Structures are given as structure tokens and as C-alpha cells.
Copies of this chain bind each other. A is one copy, B any other.
Amino acid sequence: MTERAERRGRGARSARREEAAQAHGAPYIVRNIPTYDILSEENLLRIEHTADRILAEIGIEFRDDPVALDHWKRAGAKVDGLLVRFEPGMLREIVSSAPAEFTQYARNPENNVQIGGRNVVFAPAYGSPFVMDLDKGRRYGTLEDFRNLIKLAQSSPWLHHSGGTICEPVDVPVNKRHLDMVYSHIRYSDHPFMGSVTAEERAEDSIEMARILFGADFVDRNCVILGNVNVNSPLVWDGTMTNSLRAYARANQAAVIVPFILGGAMGPVTNAGAIAQSYAETLAGCALTQLERKGAPVIFGNFLSSMSLRSGSPTFGTPEPAIGSMVIGQLARRLKLPLRCAGNFSNSKLPDGQAMQEGLMSMLSAVHCGANFILHSAGFLDGLLSMSYEKFVMDADLCGALHSYLAGVTVDDNSLAFDAFEEVGPGSHFLGSAHTMRNYQTAFWDSALSDNEPFEKWSGEGGSTDIAARANRQWKKVLAEYQAPPLDEAVDEALRDFVARKKAAVDDAWY
């Protein structure tokens, strides 16, 4: 950790402690518990060795991107048509120039986040074409939904990042959507955000809007926008993605490199093999950013998933990807790269028990594996296809609990409380003791959505609600009370001009 990061970390910790009492979050979490390392050195080496063999003997195809192929040739890889093969160790050497930790700046500097090291950043879910709520059910997402979800994220004390394609605004043409999305993040949130990757020029537009907001010089020197790029697993990088990846790297912005591997379909049905493949694919993407611009920030990403034997459907929040994520974390730390891994996933179509059980199993794996940037921390239902308004606020509340979880157990004279035992002694109680009075306000996480009343009160004045019904009330209240953070008028106008100009220059395209 750099000295600067450590200063930030310390600041964040003490600030967090103070703010916790007022139910405010921290700009990001500095974890105070270790990662959960489940695999031996010997087995990690076997996985790395298999990844090396995949890279050297099978290779990865890079389609529709001659510049990428040129990069590989110059770096000494074996290029045979579109197929690129890499000598063992070559990619690890290349990625060693990427920073182990970096700051992503927000337009409100209090919301800057530190990505890498012991830091944890929660960002909303990303990419659903549908939205759902308990009143109106499931429908295609719109720009209004997109803005609503940004407002919910901005209003939560427990989410640190505005995310990116928080839902697909399907009512806006595909080739203009990115402009409205990036503008909405800037306008309705003052947290860090992500840009488009669906075409190189859309990535460039996203970065250009960041330049309007932060200034071109600042952007060239600092990370202010992330782009999440996917591998076309198994072992294919498409040009759309590598062109966007290179656009972000060229601008010194961080690409997040993510294979999505559904075991048995895009990768082997066994965890160790899927992990080896994922490692190989991500490593190649991370290395490509360094060939485009040495020292550019990059995030080592991963998304393992499983399959139902009965239906052939993908399954989420199951034990195998959760446990596999812990291994991914161990491998990423050996590379000294910031990690994005797992998130809050469920295949349930409702914010029910299945949704929260699957979501938490997956989310805790992200927390345990040491992920630094946890995309998909809030909102997903329906196997990634829908953003649920209720689930969003339930997950954000869970993120609050995870702030307390990651704070671990403090061991000092105050927390050991020997004075309390002297005061209370056997057979009495601690309710009014000096130690309790001194500590109770910050002692325990207090959920805004969980019901902890006695049964009689819950079933009486409580109205016998389940948590989904309480979440339904909650998101409406939050939206009603939302106030946009102030934005400099000149910057706002420049951004709106840019969007208008770009939109006017091309015809609508809907696919």
C-alpha cells in the first residue's frame, strides 16, 4: 500500500467509526479482516501451471483487432493468424507494470475511492435489460429507471460507486444510449462511475465526457472512469472489447477485464479448470492494457457461474462459484493486481428467501476473496436479467451490514471491557453499565429493513410485513426525498452540448 493510500485508509477508518453512529457510510471500506485463503501454495501453482499451458499450447484468439495482434507480435508472443500463444511467465512479466492500487476520482472528492490493496468498493449491478418492482412487475428498463436506480445508489450510505449500465435504458437508441447514461451518472450522482464499452467510439465518448468534467490534463494523469470489458469465453477476445479496452488504457483509465464462465458451457464443468481458464483469459486482457499504455490502471476481473442439471439454466449464488472465487482471490494477489470478483447474484424472480440466500452466498464470497471492486453489489434478480427496485435497497442494506463485518473484531482495553466485569459481576446485567453507555451507539449494525420487533408487535401495528414489502416502501421514500448533488452550471451545459452534438451527428440505431 502506498503511503498516500495508507493515510486515506486511516482517515476512512476513523471517519467511518464516527459516521457509523449517524448511519452514514464511508467513501470505501478498508478491510480489517484477512482474506479467506482456502487453497495451498502447491495447488495454486498447479492452477497457474495449467493456465500457462493453456496460454502456451492452446492460445487465445484476438478477433477484429489488428492493433492488438501487432502489440502481441512486438511483445514476443507467437501470432498465427488470429491465434496468439504466450510463453509461460511472459504475461505475468507484462502485467507487473500495472499499479497494485489506484484512486478513482469522483467529482465530489469526498467520494474518491481507492481500488486495490485492503480496500473494498461496492458498486450497483450492471447490464440488465429488464427492471422489476412489486407494483408493476417486470418490464424493459427505461432512462427513467436508469436515473431512479442511480438516485437510489447515490442515496445509500453503503454503496460507494454509481456503477455503469445500472439497467439498459431500452427506450434510447443503442448508438446514443451511452451519452445519456454517462450524463445521468454525472448529473444524478457525485460518486465515481463507469463508461461504455459496446463500441470503441462509445468508449471514447465516455472518456471525453469525463474530460469535460475533470479537465483533460487531470484525466490523462488520473483514473476517473472505468470500463468493464468481457472475454468471449472460451479463449476468444472480440475486437469490440479489445478496442474499448485499449481506448480506456490509452486514456490512462482502468479497464475491468472479465471472463464470464458458465461451467460446462463456456468453460470446463469443474472448478479448477474454469479457474485456470479464467486466469489465462484475464491475464491476457490485463497484459494488453499494459502494451497499449504501460502503467495504466487495470482490474483483474472474474465471474464464475454454475448450471442446473435439471434445466440446463445458469444458476447463481451456488456454492461452487462462491468457493472458486476464494481461489481467484489468491491468484490475483500473487499478481499484485486489484480484483473484481463475484457480487450479489440470484436466479430468483422475486426478492424472496431464495434471492437473499443466493445473493448473500455470492456476495460474501466477494468479500472473503478480497475483491476490491465489487460490481453487482445491489439489485440483481432473475439471473442477471432484471434489476429489482426492492432487491436494490435490500442489497444496499446488506452492504451496510458488510461494513460492520469487514471491520472485524477490535481488541483493545475498551473492547475487552474488563472494567465492565468489575462493575457488573456475576448474576447482574450490563444494560446500564458505564461500559455499555459508552459503547452502545456504535456497537451493532442496525438494519433499516429487518424486523426485530416481538411477534405481537410485528403482527399488530407492524402489519405482518415481509422484508420485500418494507423495501417497497423504502425505495419510494428514498426517491421522493432524493436531492441531486450540485453540479457546476458551465460543466453541465458543456456536457449537454456534447451529448446534443453527438446525438445530432448520427441516425438512431436500435441494435
Copies in the complex: 2
The verdict on A499 contacting chain B, using a C-beta distance below 8 Å, is: no
Q: Is the beta-carbon distance between B271 and A415 smaller than 8 angstroms? A: yes
Q: Is A483 an interface residue (CB 8 A)?
A: no
Of the candidates B308, B351, B352, B417, the one whose C-beta lies within 8 Å of that of A273 is: B417
- Specify the chain B residue showing the minimal Cβ separation from A382: B455
Q: Is the CB of A422 closer than 8 A to any CB of chain B?
A: yes
Tell which of B271, B418, B435, B446 touches A410, judged by Cβ atoms closer than 8 Å.
Answer: B271
A121 interface residue per 8 A CB criterion? no
Q: B36–A454 contact, CB under 8 A? A: no
Tell me the nearest residue of chain B to A316, going by C-beta.
B452
CA distance in complex: A265, B349 (Å): 40
Q: Which residues from 460 to 509 on chain A have a C-beta closer than 8 Å to any C-beta of chain B?
A: 464, 466-468
Q: Are A276 and B416 in contact (CB under 8 A)?
A: yes
How far apart are the CA atoms of A14 and B449 in the complex, in Å? 44
A352 touches B445 (CB 8 A): no
Q: Give residues of chain A (263-285) contacting chain B, Cβ–Cβ below 8 Å.
A: 263-277
**Given A421-B58, A444-B263, does the pair A450, B415 have CB atoms closer than 8 Å?**
no
Chain A interface main SS type: mixed
CA distance A425 to B268 in the complex (A): 11
B324 touches A409 (CB 8 A): yes
Given A235-B427, A401-B319, A445-B320: A50 in contact with B422 (beta carbons within 8 A): no
Collect the chain B residues with CB atoms within 8 Å of residue A418's CB. 50, 53-54, 273
| Residue from B269, B311, B467 within 8 A of A435 (CB atoms) | B269
- Report chain B residues within 8 Å CB of A408: 38-39, 323
Considering only CB atoms, which chain B residue lies closest to A315 in the complex? B452
Whether A436 and B264, one on each chain, are in contact in the complex, defined by CB atoms closer than 8 angstroms, is yes
Tell me the residues in window 235-277 of chain A with beta carbons closer than 8 Å to chain B beta carbons: 235-236, 263-277
Most interface-central of A47, A272, A424 (chain B CB within 10 A): A272
Are B398's CB and A436's CB within 8 A? no
Q: How far apart are the CA atoms of A354 and B276 in the complex, in Å?
A: 36
B-facing residues in A416-433 (Cβ within 8 Å): 416-418, 420-422, 424-431
Is the CB of A79 closer than 8 A to any CB of chain B? no
Chain B residues with Cβ below 8 Å from A109 are none
- The distance in angstroms between the C-alpha atoms of A358 and B267, with both chains bound, is 33
Contact B273 A420 (CB under 8 A): yes
A459 interface residue (CB < 8 Å to B): yes
A354 touching B319, Cβ below 8 Å: no
Report the interface size for chain A: residues with CB under 8 A from the other chain: 125
Q: Tell me whether A306 is interfacial, beta carbon within 8 Å.
A: yes
A127 vs chain B, min Cβ distance (A): 16
A421's partner among B39, B277, B358, B441 (CB-CB below 8 A) is B277
Contact B319 A405 (CB under 8 A): yes
- Choose among B37, B269, B409 the residue that contacts A271 (Cβ–Cβ < 8 A): B409
In this assembly, does A313 line the interface, its C-beta being within 8 Å of a C-beta of chain B? Answer: yes
What's the least CB distance linking A445 to chain B, in Å?
Answer: 5
Distance from A236 Cβ to chain B, minimum over Cβ atoms (Å): 5
- Inside 8 A of A416's CB, which chain B residues have their CB? 46-47, 50, 270, 272-273, 276
Residue among A43, A47, A311, A447 with the highest chain B CB neighbour number at 10 A: A447
Q: With A34-B38, A418-B54, A426-B59 as given contacts, are A269 and B409 in contact (CB-CB < 8 Å)?
A: no
Question: CB of A360 within 8 A of chain B?
Answer: yes
C-alpha spacing A401/B360, complex, angstroms: 13
Given that A50-B416, A426-B235, A452-B315 are contacting pairs, would A411 and B272 also be in contact in the complex, using a CB cutoff of 8 Å? Answer: yes
Given A61-B427, A451-B348, A455-B138, is A270 in contact with B445 using a C-beta cutoff of 8 Å? Answer: no
Of B267, B404, B452, the residue contacting A313 (CB under 8 A) is B452
Q: Determine which residue in A232, A264, A394, A425 has the highest number of CB atoms from chain B within 10 A of its CB, and name it.
A: A264
State whether the Cβ of A356 lies closer than 8 Å to any Cβ in chain B: yes
Closest to A309 in B: B446
Q: Tell me whether A414 is interfacial, beta carbon within 8 Å.
A: yes
10 extra interface residue pairs, beta carbon distance < 8 Å, beyond A271-B415, A357-B360: A33-B38, A50-B418, A58-B425, A234-B425, A265-B429, A275-B409, A309-B444, A322-B405, A357-B357, A383-B452
25 contacts between A and B (CB under 8 A): A33-B323, A58-B421, A58-B426, A138-B455, A234-B428, A235-B421, A264-B444, A265-B431, A272-B411, A273-B415, A273-B435, A277-B421, A310-B446, A311-B452, A315-B446, A315-B450, A318-B401, A320-B443, A347-B450, A348-B467, A349-B451, A353-B394, A354-B449, A354-B451, A361-B364
- Counting from the closest, the 8 A-B pairs by CB-CB distance are A273-B417, A235-B426, A268-B417, A319-B405, A353-B356, A352-B466, A356-B357, A272-B415
